[in-house]
Amino acid sequence: MSLKDKLAAAKDKAAMRDFEVRITETLERTVIVEARNMEEAKDIVTEQYRNSDHVLDADDFTGVSITTLYGTPNKSLDSTRRKEGIAL
């Protein structure tokens, strides 16, 4: 590799940055519960969920969101500064 090629490779590597890319998967399930009103229905299902009566899995998958965050070569990333969001 020539000196020119080595310098070009070093320049390309110096231009590289680290990015955090957040992957968020959404799982949803609708359950039917008998209750006196909507609030009680929510309370019943919340308790059932906390007791692991409803464990969501791959069959409950409804979507994914991938968000790229700004990055820097020497500093940690601020996760509130979003560069772009992609919903698939």
The residue-averaged pLDDT of 71-75 equals: 55
Largest CA distance in the chain: 79
Q: Is residue 70 part of a domain?
A: yes
Report DSSP state, residue 47: H
Residue 78 has pLDDT above 50, yes or no: no
Joined tokens for residue 77: 């990333």
CA distance 67 to 18: 14
Rg over CA atoms, the chain:
23
Whole-prediction pTM:
0.59
4 within domain boundaries: no
Q: Measured between alpha carbons, how far is 69 from 88 in angstroms, rounded to an integer? A: 17
- Structural domain of residue 63, as residue ranges? 15-87
Assigned domain for 7 exists: no
Whether 10 maps to a domain, the answer reads no
Q: 11: which 2 tokens?
A: 């320049």
pLDDT, tens only, 1-56: 888 887 777 777 777 788 889 999 999 999 999 999 999 999 999 999 999 999 99
Any domain includes 2? no
- Our count of domains for the chain comes to 1
**Does a structural domain hold residue 64?**
yes
Does residue 1 form part of some domain?
Answer: no
